Amino acid sequence: MTASRRQFLTGRVAKPAPEFRPPWTSELRLAQHCTACGDCAPACPEGIIEIKDGRPRIRLNGAACSFCGACATACTAGAFDRDQPEPWPVRVEVGPSCLLAAGIACQLCTDACDSAALRIDLRVRPVGAIRIDAAACTGCGACLAVCPGAALQLRDDRLTQRGT
């Protein structure tokens, strides 16, 4: 990754985006079971799985994961474990570029959230703030594409626990 002089001096050097693996799997499980066949990618009806360096990863690109399980069904190598209590520990978080923080009314992300995990707290003046119900958030990514300020991002608790 190359940063311009301006980006470097202003501290706006973009961090590489974290790699998110498909639901029902993990880095360890992929290392143990994935054969790099790539069957999971074309099986995804949303088209959000791509193969990079022989491993599947999620690229939402305006789409969201429906957790249909087609990727897990297509995998014959056992790289996916549908018996997990939840598909993945990925949740959304709101960054400082949220339009509400600038006093501009917006609720596009709350409208896009089918699980009602994103809500506007009108107690915060002047126009409210987004509150996230972590227990309700599935990490599907539906809210990311509609955010005009690109203030939303996904966070994988497994990556934060390793310190990356």
Domain 89-164 sits in CATH at 3.30.70.20
Query: Within 20-141, where are the H helices?
Result: 27-33, 40-43, 70-74, 108-112
The structure tokens listed for 1 are 């990754």
Q: For the whole model, what pTM was predicted?
A: 0.80
Ordered by start, the domain boundaries in the chain are 1-87, 89-164
Do 1-87 and 89-164 share a fold? yes
Look at residue 157 in the predicted model and tell me its pLDDT.
74
Q: What is the pLDDT of residues 33-89, one digit of tens each?
A: 999 999 999 999 999 999 999 999 999 988 999 999 999 999 999 999 999 888 999
pLDDT at 15 over 90: no
Q: Which residues pair with 116 in a beta bridge?
A: none
- Which 3 state secondary structure label does DSSP give 72? helix
CATH of 1-87, one of 3.30.70.20, 3.40.50.1980, 2.30.31.10, 3.30.70.270: 3.30.70.20
List phi, psi (to 5°) of 6: -60, -45
Tens digit of pLDDT for each residue in 83-123?
A: 988 899 999 999 999 999 999 999 999 999 999 999 999 99
State residue 136's pLDDT score.
95
Asked if the model's pLDDT at residue 162 lies above 60, the reply is no
Higher-confidence position of 157 and 131: 131
pLDDT (0 to 100) of residue 164? 43
CA dihedral sign, ordered 100, 46, 79, 137: positive
